[in-house]
Amino acid sequence: MTGSEAASAEAVAATLNAICSAAVGAGRSGDRAALAAFCERLDRRADAFRTGDQAPVADFLAALSRLLRGAPLGDAIAGLVEPYRQGLRAVAADLAPPPADGRLAWQNGDRGEPVIPVDAARPVMDAAGHSAPEAAATEDWVAALTAHVAALLKARDRETARALATELERTAGRPGIDPDAAAYLALLLDVLRGQDVRHRILRLVEPYRSAYGSLQLLMRGADPRAALLDRLVHNAELVLTSDNPAAGEALAKVLDALRAEALRSSEPELARFAESIRRLLEARADPNAADASADATPSFQDAALAEAWRRLSAR
C-alpha cells in the first residue's frame, strides 16, 4: 500500500469509526423512529460509497443497516470481507451484551466464531497519531478528513458529527501525536461544536491552513478542483510578491507532491501545471539559473488550468 492509499484508508476509518459509534447509540436508544431514520441515512451513505468505487465500505454500511433493522448477524455479515466482518461483529457485540452463559447472542448465528475485542476490531483513526506519514499522504488524509467534516456540516448530520467529534478529541489527545496535526484536529473539533475558530487559523501550518481554507470553500459549495487551483494561484502570487525563501520552499514541496499525485491519478495536465508553476517560481527567483529548455508559455487544453495559468503568468 502506498502512503497515499494508506492516508485515504485512514480517512475512511475515521468515517467508519464515527458511523459505528453512532450506530451503537441509535441501536441502544430504544427510539424506533430515530433508528429507522439512521438506517435510511446508512443506506444513502452505502450508495454514495458504491458510486465512489469503494464497494467493500458500501457493503459494510449496507450490512450495518441490515443488522440494526433486526437481521441476524449471520445473515447481515454474509458477503463481507475482512476487516469489515470483524467490524460488524464488534458493533453486534456492543448492541447485544453477553447473557449469563457467557456466550454472545450473535455467535449462535455466525458459526460460533470467537469474540474479537471492540477496540481491536473496529478501525482506528491513527494517521496523525502514529509515525508521521509522508508529505503527500498527509495532504491526502487532511483533505479527506476536511471534506468529511464539510459534508457532515452541510448535511446537518448531528449524530454522526458528535461521534466524529469524539474520535477527533481522542486522537488529538494521544501521546506523541504531531503537535501541528493535533492543533488542526482540535480546530475541526471546535468547528463541529459550532465555535468561532477564526482567530486560530493563522497559527496553523501547512497543509492544515490550506485545508481549513478548503473547508470554507466546500461549505459554500465550491468545486474542490477549482478551490485547489485558486489556492495554488493565490499562494504562488504571495511567493512571487514577497521576499520569503521559506515560503517558496514550502510551496515547492506542495507542488512536487501535487505533481506526483496527479501522475499517479493519470492527470498529466495537472502534473504539468504544477511543474510549470514550480519553474515559474524558480525563474523569478533566479533568472540566470532557470532551465532554458523549460516551456516559458505552456498551454493547457483544460479550460480551468488554462485560466489559472493566465491569471498567474499575467503578474
Of 219, 243, 272, at which residue does a domain stop? 219
Evaluate whether residue 16 is within a structural domain.
yes
User: What local confidence, expressed as pLDDT, does residue 272 receive?
Assistant: 92
User: What local confidence, expressed as pLDDT, does residue 275 receive?
Assistant: 92
Say if residue 108 is in the same domain as residue 10: yes
Of 195, 219, 243, at which residue does a domain stop? 219
From residue 113, give the alpha-carbon distance in Å to each of 61, 90, 104, 109, 117. Answer: 21, 12, 10, 9, 13
The rounded average pLDDT for each run of 10 residues, N- to C-terminus, in the chain (315 residues) is 46 71 79 86 84 78 90 82 78 60 32 28 32 42 75 78 82 76 88 86 79 74 71 82 77 83 81 91 70 62 89 79
Closest CA to 91 of 36, 33, 27, 47: 27
Say if residue 8 is in the same domain as residue 117: yes
Closest CA to 56 of 28, 83, 91: 83
Say if residue 56 is in the same domain as residue 14: yes
Evaluate whether residue 129 is within a structural domain.
no
H-only helix segments in 52-197: 55-68, 73-76, 84-95, 118-121, 135-155, 158-172, 179-192
User: What local confidence, expressed as pLDDT, does residue 315 receive?
Assistant: 65
User: What local confidence, expressed as pLDDT, does residue 163 receive?
Assistant: 82
User: What local confidence, expressed as pLDDT, does residue 273 receive?
Assistant: 92
Evaluate whether residue 130 is within a structural domain.
no
Say if residue 109 is in the same domain as residue 142: no
The position carrying cell 525563501 is 245
Evaluate whether residue 116 is within a structural domain.
yes
Say if residue 7 is in the same domain as residue 113: yes
Say if residue 215 is in the same domain as residue 232: no
Gap between the Cα atoms of 245 and 91, Å rounded: 51
Evaluate whether residue 83 is within a structural domain.
yes
Say if residue 110 is in the same domain as residue 143: no
Say if residue 66 is in the same domain as residue 164: no
- Domain span including residue 83: 3-121
User: What local confidence, expressed as pLDDT, does residue 7 receive?
Assistant: 40
Q: How many domains does the chain have?
A: 3
Evaluate whether residue 128 is within a structural domain.
no
Q: Is the pTM of this model over 0.85?
A: no
Say if residue 150 is in the same domain as residue 95: no
Of 157, 191, 219, at which residue does a domain stop? 219
Say if residue 238 is in the same domain as residue 289: yes
User: What local confidence, expressed as pLDDT, does residue 49 receive?
Assistant: 78
Burial of 84 (0-12, 13-18, 19+ CB in 10 A): buried
User: What local confidence, expressed as pLDDT, does residue 1 receive?
Assistant: 42
User: What local confidence, expressed as pLDDT, does residue 221 receive?
Assistant: 63
User: What local confidence, expressed as pLDDT, does residue 13 receive?
Assistant: 67
Evaluate whether residue 103 is within a structural domain.
yes
Say if residue 171 is in the same domain as residue 95: no
Say if residue 249 is in the same domain as residue 213: no
Evaluate whether residue 127 is within a structural domain.
no
